[in-house]
Structures are given as structure tokens and as C-alpha cells.
């Protein structure tokens, strides 16, 4: 169903671009995009990616709520947060470790073609999503890494449209770094 995949690509690119611009519409647009990809991944038997899309719907709802709920902070303080480097590394390592038993489950109970890579990328994507909802600047660096690996994975699977999507996601994540840093510096 190329039209389903093409629509999902266009909507997801729009959603990430809106996130980089800190536009509240990123959340509902993102929900539509992940629902379309949830269906697409089901058709491809990519259950880790499918599960990730389902969880994204929940995270997108939380992000929408989180960004709408005003934080009690002084007016001159930036709305961005940053992680302590040690905490950042710990979260990435723990998240990667969680992905390994999930990969084992995918390898034994599904026909996922790359169960361990899918599960680790799924877990790291969830961490990046959580960081995005909390407006941690580091979310963009993790997205750059994860999206780059996903691009190579879909290229390996010869799905050039979705590989292109993740390449664009990596570029949009770089744009997110630029725009969020610019906004931080102006505050």
C-alpha cells in the first residue's frame, strides 16, 4: 500500500517539523502519522516498530498535555530543560539494556526480521520521546542517532521511502537542535 506509506511519511515529517518549531499542533499531527505507520508496520510484520507507534500515541497525548500545562517558573527562565551528563548516559545505557530482553521476546514470539535492533531502537525512541515531552534539549541528539540508524535499517530492508523519512527525521532533528539552541540563547 504505497499510498498509506506516502501519507504517513508526509504527515510524520510535518509533525517533527512542527515539534522543532515548538508548535502545539505537532502533537495531533504526530498522532495521525503514527497511526498510519502503525498500520504500515503491521502489514510488514515489524512488531517492534508497530508497538512503538502504539506507545507513541500515548506519549503524544502526554506531550500535548505537558506542553499545554503551564509550568510555574519565573518569567525570565527558559522553558527548556537539560539533563546532567551522568544522568543522560545512565538513562541511555539502561534503556539500551531494557531493549535486549524485549528483543529476545521479539525473536522468540514474532517473525520480526531484526528483533534486537528493532527493540533497542524502539526503547531509545521512547526515551527520546519522553525527553521531548519534557523539553530536554538532548532529545534532539538522541533523535539524530536513532533516526540515522533507522534510516540505515530501512535502507537495508530496501524500503527506500521509509529510509528517506528517517533521513529527513535526522535532518529535522538537526534543525531542532538549531532552533531550540537559538531560542535558549534569546532567553
User: pTM for the complete prediction?
Assistant: 0.82
Any domain includes 109: yes
Residue with cell 500545562: 69
The domain tally of the chain equals: 1
38 lies in a domain? Answer: yes
> Domain of 161?
2-69+83-186
pLDDT at 74 over 80: no
Position 27 in a domain: yes
For the chain, the straight-line distance linking the first and the last C-alpha, in angstroms and rounded, comes to: 46
Q: For 167-182, give the DSSP string.
A: HHHHHHHHHHHHHHHH
pLDDT digits (tens, 9 = 90+) for 131-170: 888 888 889 999 999 999 999 999 999 999 999 999 999 9
Amino acid at each position: 500500500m504505497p499510498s498509506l506509506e506516502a501519507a504517513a511519511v508526509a504527515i510524520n515529517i510535518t509533525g517533527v517539523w512542527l515539534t522543532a518549531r515548538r508548535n502545539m499542533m505537532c502533537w495531533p499531527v504526530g498522532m495521525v502519522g503514527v497511526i498510519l505507520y502503525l498500520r504500515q508496520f503491521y502489514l510488514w510484520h515489524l512488531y517492534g516498530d508497530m508497538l512503538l507507534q502504539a506507545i507513541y500515541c500515548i506519549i503524544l497525548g502526554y506531550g500535548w498535555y505537558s506542553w499545554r500545562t503551564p509550568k510555574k517558573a519565573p518569567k525570565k527562565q527558559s522553558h527548556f530543560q537539560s539533563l546532567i551528563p551522568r544522568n543522560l548516559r545512565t538513562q541511555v545505557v539502561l534503556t539500551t539494556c531494557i531493549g535486549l530482553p524485549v528483543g529476545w521476546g521479539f525473536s522468540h514470539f514474532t517473525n520480526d526480521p531484526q528483533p534486537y535492533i528493532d527493540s533497542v531502537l524502539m526503547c531509545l525512541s521512547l526515551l527520546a520521546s519522553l525527553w521531548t515531552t519534557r523539553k530536554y534539549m538532548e532529545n534532539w541528539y538522541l533523535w539524530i542517532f536513532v533516526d540515522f540508524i533507522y534510516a540505515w535499517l530501512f535502507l537495508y530492508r530496501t524500503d527506500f521511502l521509509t529510509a528517506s523519512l528517517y533521513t529527513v527525521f535526522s535532518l529535522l532533528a538537526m534543525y531542532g537542535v538549531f532552533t531550540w539552541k537559538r531560542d535558549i540563547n534569546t532567553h
